[in-house]
Amino acid sequence: LADDATVKKDVTLILDVSGSLTPTDLANVKTSANDFVADLLPITDTLRIYEFASRSETRLVGRYAASGAAGSFAWTPPPNPDLDAIDGGSNSTALFHAVRTAILEDPEGDDIIVLFSDGRENSSPEGAREEALDLIRDKKTVVFSVGFGSVDSDEMRALSSPFGRFLGVRPSLVGLFDEVAREISSVYTLVYD
- Count the Cβ atoms, other than its own, within 10 Å of residue 11: 26
Each residue's pLDDT, cut to its tens digit, for the chain (193 residues) gives 445 545 678 999 999 999 999 999 999 999 999 999 999 988 889 999 999 999 999 999 999 999 887 778 899 999 999 999 999 999 999 999 999 999 999 977 768 999 999 999 999 999 999 999 999 999 999 999 999 999 999 999 999 999 999 999 999 999 999 999 999 888 766 667 7
Element containing residue 65 per DSSP (H, E): strand 59-67
Q: pTM score, two decimals? A: 0.92
Query: How far lies 7's CA from each of 23, 75, 93, 180, 192, in Å?
Result: 38, 17, 34, 19, 11
DSSP string over 12-58:
EEEEE--TTS-HHHHHHHHHHHHHHHHHHGGGEEEEEEEEESSGGG-
As a whole number of angstroms, the distance between CA 66 and CA 142 comes to 20
Q: Residue type for 193, please? A: D
- Count the Cβ atoms, other than its own, within 10 Å of residue 171: 7
Report the greatest alpha carbon distance in the chain. Answer: 51
Q: Residue type for 119, please? A: G
Nearest alpha-carbon partner for 142 in 8, 7, 12: 12
Question: Which residues have a Cβ under 8 Å from the Cβ of 22 and sit 6 or more positions away?
Answer: none
Residue 33 burial (10 A CB sphere; 0-12, 13-18, 19+): buried
Confidence (pLDDT) at 42 = 86
Confidence (pLDDT) at 1 = 47
Confidence (pLDDT) at 97 = 98
